[in-house]
Structures are given as C-alpha cells and as structure tokens.
Amino acid sequence: MTLAIFDLDNTLIAGDSDYLWGQFLVDQGIVDRDVYETANARFFEDYKQGHLDIAEFLAFALKPLSAHEPEQLYRWRAAFIRDKIEPILLPAARTLINRHQSAGDTLMIITATNRFVTEPIAELYGIVHLIATTPEFRDGRYTGRFEGTPCFQYGKVTRLNEWLDEHKVSLHGSWFYSDSHNDMPLLEKVSHPVAVDPDWILHRHAMKSRWPVISLRGDECPYHHLNRVTDRPQSIGFK
C-alpha cells in the first residue's frame, strides 16, 4: 500500500476551512461578530507564525458546537460547504488526486481542522481516509472538547502512526503534500515530501532540502508532464 497524504487547508482548497467556518458563524449571526472575529484573526495569525496554542484554539473553535443541537449544526454546515467551500475547491487538486488514485495509491487527508468541518470536504474530493482533530460527542451532543491527540504539528505524526499501526502498513514510498511549515514534522517522515503553494518558512526549507515546490492554484495540475505519478517530480522544477 502506497499512501498519498494531503493536507487540506490552503493545499487542496484555496483557503482555510477552520477560519472560514468561523467567518460563516459570524456572517450568520450565530456568534458575536466583534468578539469572534478578533479571536479568530488572532488564532489564524498565531497559526501562520507557528506558535498556535492548539488547546486554547480548540476550546475557542469547538465551543459553538456545544451550544446548538446537532441537527441545526448539520444544516449550517451544509450551507457552509455550499457557500464557502465549494467555490474554493481546486481543479488541479482533483487532477492530482485522480492521478494518485489511478496509480493505485491509498488516499488520505490529514488536517488540524476538526472532523465536523472537514469530513464533508474530504467527501467532495472522494477521499475516504481522513485523520482530523476529533470533537468530543457525548449523549447526543458535541461537548466543546476534543478527544485524543490534536492533529497539529507533531500531533499529525502521532495520529498517523496510530493509523499505520491499526492498518498494519508503513510509510514506504509515501507522499505528503502541504502548504504549511507546521507540517514539517510529517513532511520529514514521508518518502516524497511536496510543498504546495507553501508559506515562506516551508518554501525556504523545501528549497534547502531540495523538495519539489508546486502550485495547485492554476487550472492545470503541475504533474501533467509526468508519465507516472510515482516519478520523483523534480522535472517540473522549483518556484
């Protein structure tokens, strides 16, 4: 089994689903605009700078789930996916996913954003295996807390290792695509790390490490040159 692993936010979609979910809640009047927008922007900046307190952020991000019945949350989520996510799906991402799928690879999304938000996005891309931060669900409601290890930075490695042990597979020949320097711990673990529209810290590291640097923001997948998805993609060059 060869794994093709994808980060989600700003990799397979042209935006951050966690941040956009927060903005959707603001736009719908579900949360207080001034308080929530200020906190959401601060956490997003902390994430970009690499010093996000993930426990503090999750207490903030998951709290709205605990305040409403699941049925209402699912209705809001359906509107969120339609209005905020579908417009930022990337055709080149679909092409890349299809190429790995055609090669017989096992596809996976691994993301710090919680499963409530990301599960329907993985479904839009036809990816079955999703490792995401898990919101706690007890007695028919979300509690506002999380279960297990948050799927962030080294937590992604931990969560993936748990999955590998459960499924009795290894990272031999594996690929991982990400935009963020927060994912460098996992990028260092796979056989084929690929930086996708990377932030400047990841871009610098990728150049130093001679990892491929690609963009999925155009209408054509950068891998259209390759005969086989398993080819090492240096032939497409670097940014």
Catalytically annotated residues: 7, 9
Q: Per DSSP, which regions of the chain are E strands?
A: 3-6, 106-114, 129-138, 141-147, 175-178, 192-196, 213-214
What tokens appear for 216 in the block?
């999925």
Residue 150 · residue 55 · CB < 8 Å = yes
Amino acid at 63: K
Is 105 strand, coil or helix?
A: coil
CA distance 89 to 20: 13
Distances 47 to 42, 109, 214 between C-alpha atoms, Å: 9, 19, 22
